[in-house]
Amino acid sequence: MTVWDELKVVLLDLESSGALVSYPDPRVDTHRQPPFEIRLQWWASEIAEDLPRRFGDDVKLVVGLRPYPEPQPRRQVGAPDHIPDMDPTVMSVALDAPIVVSSGHTARGALRVHNMSADAIVICTNGQVTAQVVDPRTRAVVGGFTGAQTLPGVYFRAAAGDTVVVPVLVGTASASADLGYAVPAGDWAIQVILELDDGDGFGWQRGGVGRPSRRRLRTPLLPITVTN
């Protein structure tokens, strides 16, 4: 029996568990040579522990946002410096309601974006925006969502002086080796990188040719609670 013959049985067993994010299709036997790349949900560390024990270097695993087992301690990921902070005199962002999420799981909430400018604001999304989990003391990004999302173009528009409610997705996969594979219980924060369209809704400046008009802004930190 080959490594693939044994591994595909395991993958078939795991498919219904929800632990698998991306993996080779166990129903296809052609071109199956190790190492096999498998991505697991961040809560599946017990499954991840069993796979290397059984298959060794023939599998390459990622749990949540990080390789498994962790090859070396990783530095916390900093906030992207090249993305400017939102100007609080132009627009403001607040949570529509408090967000509480269990460690290792995902929650959905909403942002209330208020437009204080004289022009309309158009926020480009796939139906929601995805938050980064942040250490409120250091502003280091410590986690977030991992997994597939659909990519339809959904636009949320706030006219001058208006407020628009935008759905937000919050995941707790850890990006820091010091925290384990999931952001632990505690008081944390989220930030969102908003993509704004100042043009015609297709990313092009009104009245211009070949001039992209989309820009990205980083929201202020918003509090969330992670529970056990």
Over residues 58-72, the pLDDT tens digits come to 999 998 888 888 754
3-state secondary structure of 111: strand
Are 29 and 131 in a shared domain? no
| Distance from C-alpha of 124 to C-alpha of 26, rounded to nearest angstrom | 36
The pLDDT of residue 75 is 45
Are 150 and 221 in a shared domain? yes
Are 185 and 108 in a shared domain? yes
* Residues 11-39, mean pLDDT to the nearest whole number: 93
Domain-embedded: residue 173? yes
CATH code of residue 123 = 2.60.40.10
Domain-embedded: residue 80? no
pLDDT band of 73, cuts 50, 70, 90? very low
Are 163 and 221 in a shared domain? yes
**Structure-model confidence comparison of residues 74 and 95, the more confident one:** 95
| Domain region containing 29 | 3-68
The pLDDT of residue 181 is 86
Q: Which of 59-63, 161-165, 176-180 has the lowest mean pLDDT?
A: 176-180
Question: Beta strand 214-218 with 173-174: parallel, antiparallel or unpaired?
Answer: unpaired
Are 209 and 99 in a shared domain? yes
Choose the most confident range, by mean pLDDT, from 25-29, 38-42, 204-208. Answer: 25-29
- Please state, rounded to an integer, the average pLDDT across all residues of the chain: 88
Greatest alpha-carbon span in the chain? 69
The pLDDT of residue 81 is 61
Are 181 and 110 in a shared domain? yes
Over residues 89-141, the pLDDT tens digits come to 999 999 999 999 999 889 999 999 999 999 999 999 999 999 999 999 999 99
Are 100 and 20 in a shared domain? no
Are 55 and 116 in a shared domain? no
* 220 upstream amide cis, omega within 30 of 0: no
Domain-embedded: residue 169? yes
Q: How many structural domains are present in the chain?
A: 2
pLDDT band of 189, cuts 50, 70, 90? very high
* Residues 35-46, mean pLDDT to the nearest whole number: 87
Are 63 and 118 in a shared domain? no
| Distance from C-alpha of 154 to C-alpha of 135, rounded to nearest angstrom | 29
Domain-embedded: residue 79? no
